C-alpha cells in the first residue's frame, strides 16, 4: 500500500557529526523528519490505529514519529533517505501479512528425527562404564 505522507511531514535540520572535518561545524546536514500520526488526513482511523500500535516504541508522547538521518555529507541526500525511511516504516506497518497455514510434519521427517535420537543414545550408552 503506497501512501505519500510527504505533504504532512515537518523537516528540521541540525549539525551533524562524522565525516567532513571543519565543514561539519558550519553546515546543518543532519535531517529530522517528523510525522504527527494522530493529525494525519491521509490515513484512515483504522490505519492510524495500526501504525500507532506497531510503532508505539518509536513515538514521542505527542504521538509523533521521528526519523533522523545523518548518513551522508549533504542535507539533500539525508532528506531523501529520511523521507524514504519514513515511507518504508508506514508501508511496512500497513501491509497485510498472509496467515500461516499449519501443516502436519511429514512422516519421514519425524522418523529421521527419532533415528537421530536413537543413534545419539547409542553413542552415549557406549561411553558408560562396563559392569561385569
Q: How many residues does the chain have?
A: 132
Looking at the predicted structure, is the pLDDT value of residue 20 above 70?
Answer: no
Per-residue model confidence as pLDDT tens digits over 36-70: 988 888 888 998 899 888 888 988 998 899 999 98
CA distance 32 to 120: 57
Domain-wise residue ranges, the chain: 9-94
Place of cell 497455514: 101
Q: What contacts 81, CB < 8 A, 6 or more positions away?
A: 31, 69, 71, 72
Instruction: Please state which architecture CATH assigns to domain 9-94.
Output: 2-Layer Sandwich (3.30)
- Mean pLDDT check: name the lowest of 20-24, 27-31, 94-98, 127-131: 20-24
Regarding pTM above 0.75, the answer is no
Residue 27, number of CB atoms within 10 A of its CB: 14
| Edge-to-edge strand list for the sheet holding 9-14 | 9-14, 30-36, 64-69
Per-residue model confidence as pLDDT tens digits over 69-109: 988 888 899 999 999 999 999 999 888 888 999 999 999 99
User: How high is the pLDDT of residue 5?
Assistant: 79
Beta strands per DSSP E along 1-132? 9-14, 30-36, 64-69
Amino acid at each position: 500500500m503506497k501512501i505519500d505522507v510527504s505533504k504532512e511531514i515537518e523537516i528540521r535540520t541540525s549539525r551533524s557529526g562524522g565525516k567532513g572535518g571543519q565543514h561539519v561545524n558550519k553546515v546543518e546536514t543532519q535531517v529530522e523528519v517528523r510525522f504527527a500520526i494522530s493529525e494525519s488526513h491521509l490515513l484512515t482511523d483504522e490505519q492510524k490505529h495500526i501504525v500507532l500500535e506497531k510503532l508505539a516504541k518509536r513515538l514521542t508522547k505527542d504521538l509523533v514519529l521521528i526519523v533522523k538521518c545523518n548518513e551522508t555529507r549533504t542535507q539533500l541526500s539525508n532528506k531523501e533517505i529520511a523521507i524514504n525511511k519514513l515511507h518504508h516504516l508506514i508501508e511496512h506497518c500497513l501491509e497485510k501479512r498472509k496467515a500461516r497455514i499449519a501443516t502436519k510434519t511429514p512422516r519421514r521427517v519425524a522418523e529421521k528425527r527419532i533415528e537421530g535420537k536413537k543413534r545419539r543414545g547409542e553413542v552415549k550408552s557406549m561411553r558408560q562404564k562396563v559392569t561385569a
